[in-house]
Chains A and B, each alone.
Chain A
């Protein structure tokens, strides 16, 4: 980025790839709300005439949201049992409920 950029916007043609490219690296900060005010205004001016960049911003933001909503994977009980074994400690029992979470002896295999 060069320091002093003074661009005035008279573009009515939105989808100029060179123009879009200029903003590409700002889009991620933009969806985080972390873009400087000036750049933010510039980008929004650009987006008002550029359908593609609007879509990219919308879907970029949606991509992040989808991943945030992705349920975290559960730890399989056999993985946990092997962990306790490797660490050579007895599994944790909630005080007062000695049977809670006790590894069930349902022998598989």
Chain B
């Protein structure tokens, strides 16, 4: 968080040092692109978000207050850029306000195939990984953004709330709904897989 390198890098950034900007990009571009790709679900939008993030960061570096690490700050900019873009694309799906949390009827589980003990190499093979990625893309953006930060990027509930400007309870509620939806979908997917996998699950 306040490693000397970080402080030194911030100083150089604020002084407009080109090499420092290059270092910032080199150290963070990959993570930010990953976040953007998960949030946006396609490479073109992810690249736009990536560029926008660093352009904004370069412009706003004077306002960086060192309360967080540089990478957390970049994540915040990137999440906002992604959400703005999603809002433009699907305005009805991303409300700035807390959504009216009604109708959770569709959350009631319908799939009870216990895929949890299938062999790892089956659960994580290439095709399954693609299915995992597709499943996130089909989440409504409000749920997706919370799920991506919380469960994929490993943010805490508080950090997620802070980054997305949501209350703790909204984060928890959206995370719950995202997870249940994904579970439902993965259950369908894995239950259609080769039954042979089940017999190998030994331990």
Contact = CB atoms under 8 A, between A and B. Distances in A.
Interface string A17-35: 1001100110111010000
Interface string B146-188: 0100011010000000000000000011011001101100110
B112 A55 contact: yes
Contacts of B112: 51-52, 55-56
Contacts of A72: 30-31, 34, 152
A61 B116 contact: yes
Contacts of A89: 18, 21-22, 25
Interface stretch (B63-71, B72-80, B83-91, B102-110): B102-110
Main secondary structure of the interface of B (DSSP, over half): helix
A92 B132 contact: no
B151 A59 contact: no
B26 interface: yes
Instruction: Kindly state the interface size class of chain B when it binds its partner.
Output: 35 or more
Contacts of B34: 72-73, 75
Contacts of A20: 108-109
B47 A79 contact: yes
Instruction: Kindly state the interface size class of chain A when it binds its partner.
Output: 35 or more
Contacts of A92: 19, 22-23, 25-26
Nearest to B174: A28
B6 to A, nearest CB: 16
B179 A28 contact: yes
Contacts of B117: 58
Interface stretch (B50-58, B92-100, B192-200): B50-58
B108 A29 contact: no
Nearest to A95: B19
B7 interface: no
What 3 pairs across the A-B complex have the smallest Cβ distances?
A28-B176, A92-B22, A92-B26
Given A55-B112, A72-B34, 5 more contacts: A28-B175, A58-B117, A67-B182, A72-B30, A92-B23
Interface of B: 18-19, 21-23, 25-26, 29-31, 33-34, 37-38, 43, 47, 50-51, 54-55, 58, 104, 107-109, 112-117, 123-124, 129, 132-133, 136, 147, 151-152, 154, 172-173, 175-176, 179-180, 182-183, 186-187
